Structure 1
Amino acid sequence: MRTRITAALAALLTALLLVPATPASAHNSLRSATPAQDARVPTAPTSVTLHFLQRLDPQFTTIVLSDAGRRKVPTGPPAVDGATGTIAIDQPLANGTYTVAYRVVSADGHPVQGSYRFTVADPSASAASPPPPATVTGSGGPASPVANSGSGDDGPPSVLLAAGGVAVVAVAGAALLLFRRRRSS
């Protein structure tokens, strides 16, 4: 009878570990933005507003706007209000595609960064001027306004974490079974 209960308990624990876990709540992420990702706006915006899931630390919040030629567009510093960061755009935007890149720090101190694009398509405005020739950095690659602006998470993949959890439960279950067998004999 005890063996069946132990086996059932081990199977239940294993099943719980195999259920996908929710993302860690300590990591911040972008909830929404104005202009939105991939938006095609009919009039040039005068600001960019990013809404995150958690409060932002004004000291560690960076928001950069660049044009299709990867040139930084003049903006004011990020204004932070709770979980919202806003930059004011200092000059009218011409028609074209723009990239918003951001870097914030989560409550656990982990940096979170990402970027997205939007397009200004104002029928009464002129098109953006063509980009200048690309500049080259010391590493030989093109210069960019924000290094590594893809959304990144440097933590271990969730598959590795799940596999580690399964291994821990399996070892604990095996140890428990060995202990009980030795105790009964």
Structure 2
Amino acid sequence: MITPSRRSAVVRLAAALLAAGLALLVAATPARAHNSLTSASPAREAMLPSAPTEITLEFLARLDPAFTTIVLTDGTKRRVPTGDPVVTGTKSTVQLTDTLPNGTYTVAYRVVSADGHPVQGSYPFTVADPAGAAAPTAVPTTGPASPAVAAVTAGDGRGRGTILGVAGGAAVVLILAVGVLRWRRRSPRR
């Protein structure tokens, strides 16, 4: 038979376990960090002596091929033709369909993290081939961001994974709380 003081201790222990579980759940949420670019070829700010034939980006976490976009633009903000992204694990590669003339180019990317959050970014590199063709000249723009950034940033920008994780955590806490309340009601009282 459980005495009132022992029942009180059990209730305090259950409350402490519930609080610890909730703290672990809340503390674990930031641990599901968003994906980020770890390496690129050509690299950020690279000065290349010859034009690349492909662009390869590597990220921290696996990529979803359906939600991976890589866009290349030239100094005039025109989109440079590339093949579709080929995703292998954490890497995505696009083949360039034409040889790039000398100039500065911008690689823009958008991928979806494991938590459903879209991650995007861009970086420049320069082709400076002594035997290469002249670069296109930049044309001032009056509109929004370049076509590369516009193409990459299309979408609502909201991840579903974070919302589902929080909702699942709340459901677990609710189930535990209901279980503790039912257990307390079933215990014999003195």
TM-score (norm. length: structure 1): 0.63
C-alpha deviation, 1:182, in angstroms: 2.0
Residue 40 in structure 1 maps to residue 46 in structure 2: yes
Which whole-Å CA distance do the structure 1 matches of 2:26 and 2:71 have between them?
40
C-alpha deviation, 1:134, in angstroms: 3.8
Residue 118 in structure 1 maps to residue 121 in structure 2: no
C-alpha deviation, 1:31, in angstroms: 4.2
Which whole-Å CA distance do the structure 2 matches of 1:33 and 1:14 have between them?
39
Equivalent residue number for residue 92 of structure 1: 100
C-alpha contact 2:117 2:158 (8 A) present in aligned 1: no
C-alpha deviation, 1:34, in angstroms: 0.2
For 1:116, give the aligned amino acid. S
In the alignment of these two chains, the number of paired residues is 173
Which whole-Å CA distance do the structure 2 matches of 1:143 and 1:66 have between them?
8
Q: How does 1:1-185 map to 2 (within 5 A)?
A: 1=6, 2-21=10-29, 22-23=31-32, 30-36=37-43, 38-47=44-53, 48-52=55-59, 53-54=61-62, 57=65, 62-75=69-82, 77-78=83-84, 80=86, 82-83=88-89, 84-88=92-96, 90-96=98-104, 98-102=105-109, 114-120=120-126, 122=128, 124=130, 128-132=135-139, 134=141, 144-145=147-148, 147-150=150-153, 153-156=157-160, 158=162, 164=167, 167-184=170-187, 185=189
C-alpha deviation, 1:169, in angstroms: 4.7
How high is the sequence identity, in percent, across the aligned residues?
36
Secondary structure of 2:25 counterpart: helix
C-alpha deviation, 1:102, in angstroms: 3.8
C-alpha contact 2:75 2:136 (8 A) present in aligned 1: no
C-alpha deviation, 1:132, in angstroms: 3.2
**Bigger-Rg structure (1/2):** 2
| Unpaired stretches in structure 2, ≥5 consecutive residues | 1-5
C-alpha contact 1:17 1:165 (8 A) present in aligned 2: no
Q: CA RMSD in A?
A: 4.3
C-alpha deviation, 1:17, in angstroms: 0.9
C-alpha contact 1:13 1:169 (8 A) present in aligned 2: no
Question: Which whole-Å deviations, capped at 9, do the CAs of 1:61-119 have from their partners, x for residues lacking one?
Answer: 653210232112244x24737344131251233232x21134567899x7956342123
TM-score (norm. length: structure 2): 0.62
Secondary structure of 1:39 counterpart: coil
For 1:72, give the aligned amino acid. R
Which whole-Å CA distance do the structure 2 matches of 1:167 and 1:107 have between them?
20
Answer 1 or 2: which has greater helix percent.
Answer: 2
C-alpha contact 1:29 1:112 (8 A) present in aligned 2: no
Secondary structure of 2:20 counterpart: helix
Which whole-Å CA distance do the structure 2 matches of 1:151 and 1:29 have between them?
19
C-alpha contact 1:43 1:122 (8 A) present in aligned 2: yes
Secondary structure of 1:17 counterpart: helix
Which whole-Å CA distance do the structure 2 matches of 1:65 and 1:162 have between them?
34
| Unpaired stretches in structure 1, ≥5 consecutive residues | none
Equivalent residue number for residue 3 of structure 2: none
